[in-house]
Structure 1
Amino acid sequence: MSTTNTAASDLVSVTVADADPAPRTLAHDVHDGLTQPFKQLPPKHLYDDHGSDLFHAICDLPEYYPTRTERAILVERAEQIAELTGAVDLVELGSGFATKTGVLLDALKRAGTLERFVPLDVSAPTVHHCAGEVAAEFGIPVHGIVGDFERDLGLIPAPIGPRIVAILGGTLGNLQAGSRRHFLSRLRGLLDTDGRLLVGIDLVKDPAVIELAYNDAAGVTSAFNRNVLTVINRELGADFPVDEYEHVAFFDHENEWIDIRLRAVRDHAVRIEALDLTVRFAAREELRTEISSKFTRERIAADLAAAGLELEDLLTDADGLFGLALAKVA
């Protein structure tokens, strides 16, 4: 890994994860995912720099309730969280620009406990921007990490006191149950006995409300979804006809998740030069790019318990759209 101080502030350091051939890379994921009978890709590859920009645009759409609802919960309950946790150390996984986390940072600062912020994100420009902004606003050390939170948790520094590890925005719902519980158990390893985990979870509700959030009228979510094909074309020398895939998002009632896919308009073959691989798509064949599980209190409590964590509180908005699960070491 390499660690550098930014010119913007002596308070900021950024650690960049070294490329490691062992963990799964884009090439491995594409080969595995596109050679299965039912084609699918992990959602992390949606988030190159352009994909990150598109996702930030999605967060401002009128149909997309999770971001504004989660922020409203934080505005209402951040002081309570700060008082309960006494956190001196805040770690955010998939931090983006820390726009929502800023509410919690402000509450911890006002409580007189905040000493450090650790944002982790896959986008280097995002981490540098976020770290500089937080250091300038709050006057605290910021240790940014450019990496993948599924494999780079080891780069997170040890706690310096009571800690909150936050993973917001419903990101946990992108994992299926077994993987989700395994991941939560790894997050538990980042906490001392006085630490807390803060998890954003989208709640089970009217499926029409959920589906609308992923099928916006402006087509931004559609562009975000198709961007993964642009990433593969650029990085692996593929020739996906990006504009000939339709965005599909629907609520799966059995699994209680939103299922997001790309549907081929016509029968065609895709050549992926870096893999020496040709993949056929039949007309209307679908490629899954993401799931987003929705939660009940019972579901998140069970997932946490399986990871050695105890649900301490579930903070929700008045309409029951979204929740923040606060957990401690069991």
Structure 2
Amino acid sequence: MELKTTTLDPLINLTRKENGNKDLTDFANHVTAGLSHTPKKLSSRYFYDGPGSALFQQIMELPEYYPTRCEYEVITENKSAIAAHLASEGFFHLIDLGAGDALKTKILLKELQERRAAFEYLPVDISEDAMQQLSSSLEKEIPGLNHQAVVGDYNDSLEWLQQNKSGRKVILFLGSNIGNFEHEESLGFLRKIRSHLEPGDSLLMGIDLRKDPDTILRAYNDFAGVTAAFNLNLLHRINRELGGNFDVNGFIHYPIYNPQEGVMRSYLVSKQEQDVYIQATGRSFHFNAWEAIHTESSYKYTLPQIQAMVEASGFTLETIFQDKEGCFADVIFHAV
């Protein structure tokens, strides 16, 4: 079947630029709530400004950071089987949530194009710069690919896609991003995805599996200190965008893995008693010596947990693909 071409706008922006201060207001409100909470917390969603995204690209290339390599192996070794499944029922919309640079997705895109599969690729990301760069790279690396990038958060993008893209859908959620949700939140998110799908649609999701705790800990506490810089960049971002006066050198990156819960947690810990004023909030926040801000959780799953999660969110489990070491899984969920 011939690939379809598109004359649509190559990039749809759902971030409501007419409300130019909305994102900063939301950020300021989140910081106020998080630093007023006991214990203090901030969301990892705010890691990914320009410098943060650049640091994460470096993290993915670190020798200690196994998830990217393992998922790359899974998709490379199983690209034929995955593509055959995705393309088995005619034309479909391939929706890539949190696409970033689409490094791993491009393996599937090239395989689908070689098969002359009929599909439209719809990468979704909150970063407009990332989507502009991806659109440009796709035009060079995969000429003739039918694609349209969407800039927005997951909820707004899923709503827009449901309203504007009729027909069969396959959602990609790669990179073990589901692990950043607490368990109840992950079920809520998967149920939200399911509510935007019809029976017969699919979800291909990357999931980090439980393994040697030392292997996990090293991935979030690399020798070169890139992950520490990534975590600390959150304070730099507050200083840059919200007028904060964090002394970033007064905090340390502290990760810890709990093997009973299967969760990696990262913190920023104040090395001394201090007060931080943040202009956009109109407030100062007090830190005791060695007080921590929880910034990220990353859950690791067992195969029985994956099965239970699939069933609890309105899907059936179709196929599990794993790397040779059993460190990572890409799982196809089928909407019922």
Same fold (TM over 0.5): yes
1-side partners of 2:265 and 2:64: how far apart?
17
Which residue of the partner structure matches residue 6 of structure 1?
A: none
Q: How does 1:44-193 map to 2 (within 5 A)?
A: 44-86=45-87, 88-136=92-140, 137-156=142-161, 158-159=164-165, 161-193=167-199
Instruction: Say whether the 8 Å CA contact 2:24–2:242 is kept in structure 1.
Output: no
Contact 1:122/1:148, CA 8 A, preserved across alignment: yes
Higher mean alpha-carbon deviation, 131-140 vs 166-175, is at 131-140
Sequence identity percentage: 33
Q: Does 1:253 align with 2:259?
A: yes
Deviations 1:223-258 (A, max 9, x none): 000011111111111111112211111111232110
Q: CA deviation at 1:22?
A: 10
TM-score with structure 2 setting the length: 0.90
Structure 2 residue 192 is the aligned partner of structure 1 residue 195? no
Instruction: Write the deviation string for residues 125-157 of structure 1: whole angstroms up to 9, x where unpaired.
Output: 110111222234141232111112254422225
Cα RMSD of the aligned pairs, angstroms, is 2.0
Q: What per-residue deviation string (whole Å, max 9, x for no partner) do you get for residues 167-222 of structure 1?
A: 11111100001111111011113333232101111101110000000111111100
2:11 counterpart of 1:14: yes
> What are the within-5 Å matches in structure 2 for residues 291-306 of structure 1?
291-306=297-312
Task: Report the Cα distance in structure 2 between the residues aligned to 1:254 and 1:189, rounded to whole angstroms.
Answer: 32
CA distance in 2 between partners of 1:148 and 1:257 (Å) = 25
Distance 2:118 2:98 in 1: 20
**Alpha carbons 2:31, 2:42 under 8 Å: kept:** yes
The one-letter amino acid paired with 1:122 is I
Q: Which moved more, 1:53-62 or 1:160-169?
A: 160-169
| Number of aligned residues | 322
Q: 1:190 to 1:135 in 2, by over 3 A?
A: farther
Q: What letter matches 1:13 in structure 2? A: P
Which deviates more from structure 2 when the two are superposed, residues 77-86 or residues 165-174?
Answer: 77-86
- Tell me, in whole angstroms, the C-alpha distance in 2 between the residues paired with 1:288 and 1:41: 6
Distance 1:67 1:124 in 2: 23
Describe the superposition over 1:32-88 as per-residue Cα deviations: whole angstroms up to 9, x where unpaired: 111111111111100001101100110000000000110110001111011122163
Q: Output the CA distance in 1 between the equivalents of 2:69 and 2:29.
A: 35
Match of residue 4 from structure 1: none
What letter matches 2:45 in structure 1? K
Name whichever of 305-314 and 39-48 sits farther off. 305-314
Q: Give the alignment's TM-score, normalised by structure 1.
A: 0.92
- 1:51 aligns to what SS in structure 2? helix
Question: What is the aligned partner in structure 2 of residue 36 from structure 1?
Answer: 37
Which stretch has the larger CA shift, 117-126 or 56-65?
117-126
Alpha-carbon distance between aligned partners in 1 of 2:292 and 2:177, rounded to the nearest angstrom: 23
Segments of 5+ residues of structure 2 without an aligned counterpart are: 1-5
Structure 1, unpaired ranges of 5+: 1-8
